[in-house]
Structure 1
Amino acid sequence: MAIKITKSHTLKKKPVDESTLGFGKIFSDHMLIMHYKDGQWGPVEIKPYGNLELDPACCSLHYGQLIFEGMKCYSTKEGLQLFRPRENFKRMNRSAERMVMAQIDIDIVMEGLKELLRIEKDWVPTSKGTALYIRPTMIGSEAFLGVHPSNEYIFYIIVGPVGAYYAEGFAPIKIMVEDKYVRAVAGGVGNAKTAGNYAASMKSGLEAAKKGFSQVLWLDGKERKYVEEVGAMNMMFVLDGKVITAALDEGSILPGITRDSVIQLLKKKGIPVEERKLSIDEVIAGAKDGKLSEAFGTGTAAVISPVGSITYKDQTYEINNNKIGKITQELYDELTGIQTGDLEDTFGWVEKV
Structure 2
Amino acid sequence: MTQQIQITKSQNLKEKPEVAGIPFGSYFTDHMFLMDYSAEMGWHDARIVPYAPFEISPSSQVLHYGQSVFEGLKAYNVDGEVILFRPDENFKRLNRSLERMSMPKVDEEFALDALYELLKIEHDWVPDGEGQSLYVRPFVFANEPYLGVRPAKSYRMMIVLSPVAGYYGAQLNPTSIYVEDDYVRAVRGGVGEAKFAGNYASSYAAQQKANDLGYEQVLWLDGVHQEYIEEVGSMNIFFVRDGELITPQLNGSILPGITRKSLITLAEDLGYTVREERIHISDVEKGIKDGSISEVFGAGTAAVVAPVGIMNIHGTDYRVNNNEIGKVTQELYDNLTGIQTKKQEDKHGWVYDVTATVK
- TM-score class normalised by the smaller sequence: over 0.9
Aligned counterpart in structure 1 of residue 174 of structure 2, from 169, 172, 175: 172
User: Which residue is 2:258 aligned to?
Assistant: 257
Partner SS, residue 42 of structure 1: strand
Residue 227 in structure 1 maps to residue 229 in structure 2: yes
User: Which residue is 2:290 aligned to?
Assistant: 289
Letter of the 1:319 partner, please give it.
V
Partner SS, residue 189 of structure 2: coil
User: Which residue is 1:245 aligned to?
Assistant: 247
CA contact (8 A) 1:22 1:164 kept: no
Shift of 1:148: 0.6
Aligned counterpart in structure 2 of residue 59 of structure 1, from 61, 74, 80: 61
User: Which residue is 2:337 aligned to?
Assistant: 336
User: Which residue is 1:268 aligned to?
Assistant: 269
CA contact (8 A) 1:39 1:151 kept: no
User: Which residue is 1:181 aligned to?
Assistant: 183
Q: Deviations over 1:215-236 (max 9, x none)?
A: 0000000000000000100000
Residue 72 in structure 1 maps to residue 74 in structure 2: yes
Residue 42 in structure 1 maps to residue 44 in structure 2: yes
CA contact (8 A) 1:172 1:306 kept: yes
Q: Deviations over 1:27-46 (max 9, x none)?
A: 00100000001251103200
User: Which residue is 2:131 aligned to?
Assistant: 129
Greater shift in the superposed pair: 73-82 or 125-134:
73-82
Partner SS, residue 33 of structure 1: strand
Shift of 1:169: 3.6
User: Which 4+ stretches in 1 moved above 6 angstroms?
Assistant: none
Identity of aligned residues (%): 51
Shift of 1:22: 3.0
Tell me, in whole angstroms, the C-alpha distance in 2 between the residues paired with 1:325 and 1:44.
46
Letter of the 2:304 partner, please give it.
V
CA contact (8 A) 1:28 1:123 kept: yes
Residue correspondence of structure 1 range 93-112 to structure 2 within 5 A: 93-112=95-114
Tell me, in whole angstroms, the C-alpha distance in 1 between the residues paired with 2:97 and 2:305.
24
Tell me, in whole angstroms, the C-alpha distance in 1 between the residues paired with 2:61 and 2:96.
20
Letter of the 2:320 partner, please give it.
I
Tell me, in whole angstroms, the C-alpha distance in 2 between the residues paired with 1:246 and 1:56.
41
CA contact (8 A) 1:22 1:167 kept: no
Letter of the 1:47 partner, please give it.
V
Tell me, in whole angstroms, the C-alpha distance in 2 between the residues paired with 1:190 and 1:105.
24
Letter of the 2:149 partner, please give it.
V
TM-score when scaled to structure 2? Answer: 0.96
Letter of the 1:124 partner, please give it.
V
Partner SS, residue 259 of structure 2: helix
Tell me, in whole angstroms, the C-alpha distance in 2 between the residues paired with 1:18 and 1:58.
35
Letter of the 1:336 partner, please give it.
T
CA contact (8 A) 2:221 2:229 kept: yes
Q: Deviations over 1:322-345 (max 9, x none)?
A: 010001000000100111111111
Shift of 1:168: 7.0
CA contact (8 A) 2:130 2:170 kept: no
Tell me, in whole angstroms, the C-alpha distance in 2 between the residues paired with 1:341 and 1:44.
32
Greater shift in the superposed pair: 19-28 or 107-116:
19-28
Tell me, in whole angstroms, the C-alpha distance in 1 between the residues paired with 2:60 and 2:80.
44
TM-score when scaled to structure 1? Answer: 0.98
Letter of the 1:305 partner, please give it.
A
Tell me, in whole angstroms, the C-alpha distance in 1 between the residues paired with 2:49 and 2:226.
47
Shift of 1:121: 0.8
Give me the CA root mean square deviation. 1.0
Shift of 1:96: 0.3
Partner SS, residue 163 of structure 2: strand
CA contact (8 A) 1:177 1:310 kept: yes
Tell me, in whole angstroms, the C-alpha distance in 2 between the residues paired with 1:56 and 1:222.
37
Partner SS, residue 26 of structure 2: coil
Runs of 5+ consecutive residues of structure 2 not aligned to the other structure: 355-359
Shift of 1:313: 1.7
Letter of the 2:42 partner, please give it.
Q
Residue correspondence of structure 1 range 186-197 to structure 2 within 5 A: 186-197=188-199
Aligned counterpart in structure 2 of residue 14 of structure 1, from 8, 13, 16: 16
Tell me, in whole angstroms, the C-alpha distance in 1 between the residues paired with 2:234 and 2:351.
23
Tell me, in whole angstroms, the C-alpha distance in 1 between the residues paired with 2:97 and 2:353.
26
Letter of the 2:210 partner, please give it.
A
Tell me, in whole angstroms, the C-alpha distance in 1 between the residues paired with 2:234 and 2:206.
13
Tell me, in whole angstroms, the C-alpha distance in 2 between the residues paired with 1:40 and 1:30.
24
User: Which residue is 1:4 aligned to?
Assistant: 6
Tell me, in whole angstroms, the C-alpha distance in 1 between the residues paired with 2:103 and 2:181.
33
Aligned counterpart in structure 2 of residue 162 of structure 1, from 161, 164, 169: 164
User: Which residue is 1:312 aligned to?
Assistant: 313
Tell me, in whole angstroms, the C-alpha distance in 1 between the residues paired with 2:41 and 2:9.
29
Letter of the 2:128 partner, please give it.
T
Tell me, in whole angstroms, the C-alpha distance in 1 between the residues paired with 2:179 and 2:169.
21
Shift of 1:242: 1.4
